[in-house]
Structure 1
Amino acid sequence: MPTSPWSGPGPRSGCRNGGCSRRSRFASRNARWPGNDTFRRSSPACPAARAARGCRGPRTRWSVRWVIGWRPRPTSALLQVGRTCHLAETARTGIRDQVPVAYVLVPPGASAKTLAAEFARFLGIPLTHRMTQAQIMTSVCHTYTQAGVRLVMIDEIHRLNPRTSTGAEATDLLKDLTERIGATFVYAGIDVTSTPLFTGIRGAQLADRATLIDCDTIPARRGTSRPFRDLTAALEACLDLEQHRPGTLPRLAPYLHTRTAGRIGSLARLLRQAAITAILDNTERITKASLEAITLDHLAEDHHRPRYPASPATRRRRNGNSDGPPARAEPA
């Protein structure tokens, strides 16, 4: 049985007050952050976190289905949903050596057999080239049931096209798995409502059996609340920097929202890289200057850059030359 990728870190070591090398301190703190269920406790992840609640109740014969439609970067939040369910199930049962959550990535152009092989590969089920699709399905359903899988997350579901013969067979395979495995199934994809996933007879069956959760980027404001600021404060509480001043990141929430366009993945990478840099250069704190020095992904950087180039007067003012345009040379 493989070790689950969502298992939490062990107890904190006593490296903070000395007694170990700087490299071990860095490795210990880098592995711990973010070391708690920040995204489950913060309000922006609540729509996605609802998909994880189905794994906490008693097991039943019938499975629950969710379809989560994301804007770009669905995997970051989906893995947090899986980690939340894993930690909740571990706390409920007290058994750490278990795999209550399964994560399957739909390969491009997936057929029914290759998709079934992906389910088997996650739990390390041995396969041979001579095995038929029915044999793989039987092995997968038996192993998942014996392992006590409570949540099955299927990512990149928008790659399936039920209009094609290959996509139709893969869609039928997923329908059979939901009936044979008593777990909550979460399908995640990008703009699933605009894809052929919900069209045709098979698409109508999926739409009739699943609940759609539309997740967008985190807004800076939602009524009287500030969900992005709350998420930033929760992430700051996870930092293990000795010289960092509490409240610095929440005050920078407007800047961080503009910098990351409200995307959880971009925000987590920005703060993680800033924390690693602060540990390596011995400053032990995050500032706006250190955040500015970090280059994010292309989508976030493209959003952060101005859409229109600055005028020549603005560029001269930024460069410290406010005396107006240079004088033209007199003709000879």
Structure 2
Amino acid sequence: MRLVLIDEIHRLNPCTTTGAQSTDLLKDLTERIGATFMYAGIDVTSTALFSGVRGAQLAGRASLVECGVFPARLGTSEPFKDLVTGMERALDLRRHRPGTLPGLASYLHERTAGRIGSLARLIRQAAITALTEGTERITRTTLAGIRLDHLAEQHHRPTSRHKAPAR
């Protein structure tokens, strides 16, 4: 079985000349290549992607699967914690203690609203901070000092257990 994955499909606008040519190419490829095509994008139903004649042709060849945020728990498994564990393993910080980030999985999920992109940016920025400050380890304090993307910051409302003490 072959799989063709095309990401950022929400950027394609079949109403423009370039977008129309790209849409025609995708249509032709789906008819000629013995593969399953998977398109990934953000909020595709609100874009021009499925509008007009070309968009309708593309929509007629696709099934929409809506994906939410990455779940903290799924039955008895903890997929978000597993993701955090994998990201932590990729870190190359000399003084970082393995298991620190998975131990903060609940905080990280709340902080990023379960968005993988927000999580990746948070951990990457925390690692850069750890390197530039010379600590070479990520702590909750390091993570708390990182500003995230607007969606994550808008979602994250510190509760009393996350607030800094009043001075």
Q: TM-score, normalised by structure 2?
A: 0.76
1:81-92 correspondence to structure 2 within 5 Å: none
Deviation string, structure 1 residues 248-306 (Cα, Å, up to 9, x no partner): 11110111011111111111111111112212222121100011111111111111135
Give the 3-state SS of the residue equivalent to 1:186 in structure 2: strand
1:1-332 correspondence to structure 2 within 5 Å: 54-55=2-3, 151=4, 153=6, 155-157=8-10, 159-160=12-13, 169-170=20-21, 171-180=23-32, 184-193=36-45, 197-198=49-50, 205-305=57-157, 318-320=165-167
Match of 1:9 in 2: none
Higher relative contact order (CA 8 A, sep 6+): 1
Give me the whole-angstrom Cα distance separating, in 1, the residues matched to 2:7 and 2:82. Answer: 29
Preserved contact between residue 13 and residue 20 of structure 2 (Cα < 8 Å):
no
Deviation string, structure 1 residues 190-219 (Cα, Å, up to 9, x no partner): 233455655677556434433433222101
Gaps of 5+ in 1: 1-52, 56-150, 321-332
Preserved contact between residue 8 and residue 41 of structure 2 (Cα < 8 Å):
yes
Deviation string, structure 1 residues 89-134 (Cα, Å, up to 9, x no partner): xxxxxxxxxxxxxxxxxxxxxxxxxxxxxxxxxxxxxxxxxxxxxx
Deviation string, structure 1 residues 16-68 (Cα, Å, up to 9, x no partner): xxxxxxxxxxxxxxxxxxxxxxxxxxxxxxxxxxxxx734xxxxxxxxxxxxx
Give me the whole-angstrom Cα distance separating, in 1, the residues matched to 2:37 and 2:157. Answer: 39
Structure ID, larger Rg: 1
The offset of 1:240, in angstroms, is 1.2
Give me the whole-angstrom Cα distance separating, in 2, the residues matched to 1:242 and 1:259. Answer: 25
Give the 3-state SS of the residue equivalent to 2:93 in structure 1: coil
Residues paired across the two proteins, number: 164
Deviation string, structure 1 residues 119-172 (Cα, Å, up to 9, x no partner): xxxxxxxxxxxxxxxxxxxxxxxxxxxxxxxx36252336536xx696994544
Preserved contact between residue 20 and residue 54 of structure 2 (Cα < 8 Å):
no
CA distance 1:221–1:284, change in 2 (3 Å):
same
Out of 238-247 and 179-188, give the one that drifted further.
179-188
Give me the whole-angstrom Cα distance separating, in 2, the residues matched to 1:288 and 1:210. Answer: 42
CA distance 1:318–1:273, change in 2 (3 Å):
closer
Give the 3-state SS of the residue equivalent to 1:215 in structure 2: coil
Give the 3-state SS of the residue equivalent to 2:66 in structure 1: strand
Residue 13 of structure 2 aligns with an amino acid whose one-letter code is: L
Q: TM-score, normalised by structure 1?
A: 0.42
